[in-house]
Amino acid sequence: MILRPPTITKTDINLVVEAYEDWPSDEPVYPEDVRRWFGRYAGRDLAMIDDKLVPLEKGLIGEVDGQPVGFIVYQKGWFSAKVYQIVVPLRLRGNGYGSAMWRAIWALLQSEGVVVCDFDALPGPVAELVNSGRFVKTGEGVGAATGLPVMKGRATMGMDI
């Protein structure tokens, strides 16, 4: 698994649109949305907002054997990060791509000095891993974009994920 910046190509755009086809939201994702996201992710890592230097969201494409298999959105601070989404198209699920992307982003973040990474998990396998103790459970809530219950989790330095 490699993680690479997204490109404004039909292949990457279609992969991301397809990955969000069954995303639990009232708003579908269109190619124009993805192009806008990609443009935003290609910019700086930090921005001045209200006279404060703020880390920006970034997006990466997960790729296996030259083929894109998923998309990840995250935000990196100085020593912490938050993974917002790891999405894999329905036709590619069950191959371990989401787990491989999680391990790859966590390795990348740790190599850049991150010692803790938070995430919200929708109901399903990742939420079950939080409940089982594989990740640190930091709480429960409701997803802002989905309205679904989420399990709040955390990975910490040295944790085997």
Query: What are the structure tokens assigned to 103, written together?
Result: 């391990």
Residue 150 included in any domain: yes
d(CA 144, CA 148): 8
Domain with 26, as residue range(s), is 2-156
Q: Give the pairing type, strands 67-76 and 57-64.
A: antiparallel
Residue 57 included in any domain: yes
Average pLDDT in the 4-12 region?
Answer: 94
CA-to-CA separations, 106 to 36, 90, 91, 128, in angstroms, rounded: 25, 23, 25, 19
Residue 161 included in any domain: no
Pick from 87, 47, 45: nearest CA to 69: 87
How many structural domains does the chain have? 1
Looking up residue 32, the CATH number of its domain turns out to be 3.40.630.30
Residue 125 included in any domain: yes
Place of tokens 């000095």: 113
Residue 66 included in any domain: yes
Dump pLDDT digits (tens) for 63-95.
Answer: 999 999 999 999 888 899 999 889 999 999 999
Dump pLDDT digits (tens) for 111-152.
Answer: 989 999 999 888 888 888 888 888 889 999 888 777 888 899
Q: What is the pTM of this model?
A: 0.85
Residue 116 included in any domain: yes
Residue 9 included in any domain: yes
pLDDT-derived band at 104, boundaries 50, 70, 90: very high
